[in-house]
Structure 1
Amino acid sequence: MSHPFALLANHAVDATRVELEYRDVPADQLITGPARVGTAELGSLHGCSIGVWEMSPSVTTDVEVDEFFVVLAGAATVSFADGRPPLQLRAGSVGHLAAGTATTWTVTETLRKIYIA
């Protein structure tokens, strides 16, 4: 999702305070909720999109894009449909999700992360 915000070169922002555009999670991805997702694209680098993503407490499913991320706040568990061990996420967690991976996100505290995809 595109956002009118753009991080200028040689500048910095507090990603914990960046205003996000919110939308409801589509009903076919919702297990328990309601769930809201907020995003703000900060810019791009070498063909990768960089932004802020946030989700309210809920349980949802997704099919991932290739993404690296750093959790800024909140808590969640990401479970994998193929049975691999789940990821326990909290502030400071750094992760990589592979494109096409089927996941279930159990967000227990509003989760905010920086993504590079």
Structure 2
Amino acid sequence: MTAPDRSADRSAGRLVDAAGIVVPHEPADDVVSGTPTVGVVELGGFRDVELGVWEITPGVVRDVEVDEVFVVLEGEGSVRFDDGDVIDLAPGSLVRLRAGERTEWTIRTRLRKVYLA
């Protein structure tokens, strides 16, 4: 008699298909142009850090940031900071935001990111 394959059991809670998660949307706040919608799915925590998936559709919005690190999974856009810096966002971009930074997000195609905050 062979032991049952428990490889799926071992991966339970360890593997998340962040690209495949359905993210419910609502209208974005502080819209500058367009009709962007945003959504978030919280995936739990890691120590004292929140982990989740965030998504936004095309348009321009303003925000005041929290301490966060994120990686863009899909989509394109840019973030302009009040100090004039602009960063381009594309799949694979790794970004560090600091609490209190004022930003303007210009989203060209639906953008999805995994964040730690």
TM-score normalised by the chain length of structure 1: 0.87
**Root-mean-square deviation over aligned CA pairs:** 1.3
Give CA deviations for 1:13-56 in whole Å, capped at 9, x if unaligned.
Answer: 21111011211112xx1011101001100110111100000000
TM-score, length basis structure 2: 0.87
Larger gyration radius, structure 1 or structure 2: 2
Cα gap change, 1:9 to 1:47, in 2 (>3 Å): farther
CA positional deviation for 1:11: 2.6
Partner residue in 1 for 2:74: 73
Structure 2 regions of 5+ residues with no counterpart?
1-10
Structure 1: give runs of 5+ residues left out of the alignment.
Answer: 1-7
Distance in 1 between residues matched to 2:75 and 2:14, nearest whole Å: 26
| 57-66 or 17-26, which deviates more | 17-26
Identity %: 42
Tell me which residue corresponds to 1:12: 15
* Structure 1 counterpart of 2:96: 96
Distance 1:9 1:43 in 2: 14
